[in-house]
């Protein structure tokens, strides 16, 4: 499979030509950096240096790819393969970028010149599912929606559902600690991760956590790896918690004159003491990107679930009456899916407008209306269009600054607006990333949020796990 198994590039390393660099791969020397990836031929894992294959794994969906092409992409099919790759990369000090589906929005999986991309998408097995234990064991490349569908056959669900649920992987979700629409009620990815198998930078494989819902032996490394953005180890297997499928749902679409009124209305939900599973807010600019005929109003999509779904939905309708311009409620799943489709379509629609700079701040729920008001002021001050989507029940806002598609770099006025959005998050007692991760895009701000002492401690933790700094260098901490 190795030396002769490179399907992308023709099958034999002797004849491989690295057309990107113009160099010959007979010696497998990486002309970008002068480093060597000759060891790839010996690790027994499928790999490629074909320029088209490299171009396909160099960027994520943040819209800001790095300089140059990576040196190679490797595609292991099992944990042993991951281990062999990391052992050799560690010995040769080769940077490795773990990659799931590349749907990340913070530049976490981007891979520039010299890096080897560790593509985990072929490790996509659902290893086991135990309805009685309410758990599933999966490989990292499994698409998240596929797990939820498999759980559904047993009357169960895998609750974390990023809007990218149909295109992102469990491994990527864990590595970013992804949030989702339903996390208002069921928590983020970490709340469904019980245990992990992880390959460390030197190739050692370890198990963390438990197969049980409870377990407090030792430090909680499962939580440390969750959200570590490929910097501490490579997740090769996960034991996940499943939950019962809710007995029913009720979905509400409420329109408001503007987003500030809609954001303020979210506080009415909290005061009504109901627990929506989903509460998504879309501003007029986002709705116009989806449907150019849309006017000025904002949309709040709410879903309640469980035995009391309709009852809770009635309480919500009551709480919103008089504030909302229009309220529609349905318990029909097909109609609900249609209403929620607007939310899942939002980002792809905005990507069609230009190159998005996607922010991801979270603020205390009670400050949501303050946040949207001040974001509008920032947009006005810097003359940049900012479209805002929010996971409203979590106070998690995505202000999207859309810049010209041909812009080589972030234009200065857009950067200033982005900086002010971060500033605003911290001022309101929030965080600069609620779910997308730090990646490359938010790195400059991390020390500010963590404070120097914690930032230094986190860097020392990273060094402990990866002394030679081969795992996803230049990202996150
Ligand atoms: C249309 C759209 C909607 C989205 N909606 C949401 C949303 O609602 N909520 C949300 O949180 N995100 C959302 N995202 C962002 C993205 O889908 C998530 O961050 C997702 O978790 C990334 O998964 P992935 O498989 O694509 O990972 P990648 O983008 O490939 O990687 C993400 C990070 O994880 C690391 N990584 C990947 N796999 C592993 C592994 N096995 N071991 C160690 N590290 C690994 C990478 O190095 C990188 O740092 C959305 C993206 C799109 C395009």
Index of the ligand 1 atom closest to the CA of residue 161 = 8
Distance 264 CA to ligand 1 centre (A): 30
Distance 168 CA to ligand 1 centre (A): 6
- Pocket perturbation via mutation, ligand 1, pick of 107, 109, 138, 466 by most ligand atoms within 8 A of CB: 109
Distance 308 CA to ligand 1 centre (A): 33
pLDDT on residue 22:
28
For the record, the structure tokens of 32 come out as: 């970008």
pLDDT on residue 8:
37
Index of the ligand 1 atom closest to the CA of residue 178 = 11
Residue ranges of the alpha helices (H) in 16-162? 51-56, 79-92, 144-152
| C-alpha dihedral, 238 to 244 to 250 to 251, nearest 10° | 10
Nearest CA owner, ligand 1 atom 5: 163
Distance 59 CA to ligand 1 centre (A): 12
SS3 for 361?
strand
Question: Which residue has 């309220």 as its token pair?
Answer: 327
Identify the residues whose C-beta falls under 6 Å from ligand 1.
60-61, 97-105, 108-109, 120, 140, 162-164, 168-169, 171-173, 175-176, 178-180, 229-230, 234-235, 347-348, 435-436, 472, 475
Q: How many helices (H) and strands (E) does the chain have?
A: 14, 21
Distance 88 CA to ligand 1 centre (A): 26
Nearest CA owner, ligand 1 atom 19: 104
Distance 153 CA to ligand 1 centre (A): 26
Nearest CA owner, ligand 1 atom 53: 103
pLDDT on residue 358:
87
Distance 317 CA to ligand 1 centre (A): 34
Exposed/middle/buried for 440, CB within 10 Å: 0-12, 13-18, 19+?
buried
Q: Give the C-alpha separation, 303 to 235, whole Å.
A: 32
What is the per-residue burial (b if ≥16 Cβ within 10 Å, else e) of 257-296? eebbbbbbbbbbbbeeebebbbbbbbbbbbbbbbeeebee
- Pocket perturbation via mutation, ligand 1, pick of 176, 188, 208 by most ligand atoms within 8 A of CB: 176
Q: Give the C-alpha distances (Å, rounded to integers) separating 314 from 282, 290, 320.
A: 22, 29, 10
pLDDT on residue 13:
31
121-143: pLDDT as tens digits: 999 999 999 999 999 999 999 99
Three-point CA angle 13, 16, 18, nearest 5°: 130
Nearest CA owner, ligand 1 atom 27: 172
Number of Cα atoms under 13 Å in the Cβ half of residue 268? 17
Distance 97 CA to ligand 1 centre (A): 13
Distance 336 CA to ligand 1 centre (A): 26
Ramachandran region, residue 96 (left: φ > 0; alpha: ψ -120 to 50; beta: rest) = beta
Distance 436 CA to ligand 1 centre (A): 7
In which residue ranges of the chain is pLDDT below 70? 1-35
Number of Cα atoms under 13 Å in the Cβ half of residue 393? 28
Distance 172 CA to ligand 1 centre (A): 4
Question: Which residue has 């009720």 as its token pair?
Answer: 250
pLDDT on residue 35:
56
SS3 for 126?
strand
Task: Give the relative orientation of helices 368-382 and 259-271 as an angle to the nearest 10 degrees.
Answer: 170
SS3 for 67?
coil
Index of the ligand 1 atom closest to the CA of residue 120 = 41
DSSP state, residue 108: T
- Pocket perturbation via mutation, ligand 1, pick of 144, 168, 173 by most ligand atoms within 8 A of CB: 168
Other Cβ atoms within 10 Å of 215 Cβ, number? 13
């Amino acid at each position: 499979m190795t030396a002769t198994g490179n399907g992308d590039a023709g099958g034999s390393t002797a004849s491989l030509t690295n057309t990107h660099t113009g160099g010959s791969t007979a010696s497998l020397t990486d002309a970008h950096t002068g480093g060597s990836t000759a060891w790839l031929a010996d690790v027994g894992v499928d790999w490629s240096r074909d320029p088209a294959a490299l171009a396909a794994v160099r960027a994520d969906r943040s819209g800001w790819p790095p300089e140059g092409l990576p040196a190679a992409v490797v595609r292991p099919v099992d944990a042993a393969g991951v281990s062999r790759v990391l052992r050799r990369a560690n010995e040769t000090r080769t940077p490795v970028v773990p990659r799931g589906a590349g749907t990340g929005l913070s530049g976490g999986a981007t891979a520039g010149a010299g890096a080897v991309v560790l593509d985990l998408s072929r490790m996509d097995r659902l290893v086991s599912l135990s309805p009685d234990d309410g758990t599933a064991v999966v490989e990292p490349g499994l698409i998240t929606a596929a797990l939820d569908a498999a759980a559904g056959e047993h009357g169960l669900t895998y609750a974390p559902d990023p809007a990218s649920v149909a295109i992102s992987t469990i491994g990527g979700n864990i590595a970013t600690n992804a949030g989702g629409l339903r996390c208002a009620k069921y928590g983020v990815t970490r709340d469904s991760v019980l245990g992990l198998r992880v390959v460390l930078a030197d190739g050692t494989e370890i198990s963390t956590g438990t197969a049980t819902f409870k377990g407090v032996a030792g430090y909680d490394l499962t939580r440390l790896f969750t959200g570590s953005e490929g910097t501490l180890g490579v997740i090769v297997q996960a034991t996940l918690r499943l939950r019962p499928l809710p007995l029913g749902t009720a979905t509400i679409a409420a329109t408001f004159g503007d987003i500030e009124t809609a954001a303020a209305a979210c506080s009415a939900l909290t005061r009504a003491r109901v627990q929506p599973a989903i509460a998504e807010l879309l501003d007029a600019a986002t709705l116009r990107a989806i449907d150019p005929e849309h006017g000025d109003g904002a949309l709040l999509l709410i879903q309640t679930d469980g035995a009391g779904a309709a009852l809770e939905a009635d309480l919500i309708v009551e709480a919103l009456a008089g504030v909302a311009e229009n309220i529609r409620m349905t318990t029909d799943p097909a109609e609900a899916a249609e209403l929620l489709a607007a939310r899942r379509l939002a980002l792809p629609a905005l990507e069609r407008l230009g190159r998005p700079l996607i922010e991801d701040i979270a603020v205390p729920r009670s400050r949501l209306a303050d946040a949207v008001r001040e974001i509008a002021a920032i947009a006005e001050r810097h003359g940049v269009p900012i479209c805002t989507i929010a996971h409203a029940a979590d106070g998690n806002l995505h202000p999207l600054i859309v810049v010209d598609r041909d812009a080589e770099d972030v234009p200065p006025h857009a950067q200033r607006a982005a900086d002010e959005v971060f500033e605003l998050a911290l001022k309101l007692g929030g965080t600069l990333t609620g779910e997308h991760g730090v990646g490359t895009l938010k790195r400059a701000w991390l020390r500010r949020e963590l404070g120097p002492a914690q930032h230094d401690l986190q860097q020392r933790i990273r060094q402990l796990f990866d002394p030679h700094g081969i795992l996803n260098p230049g990202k996150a901490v």
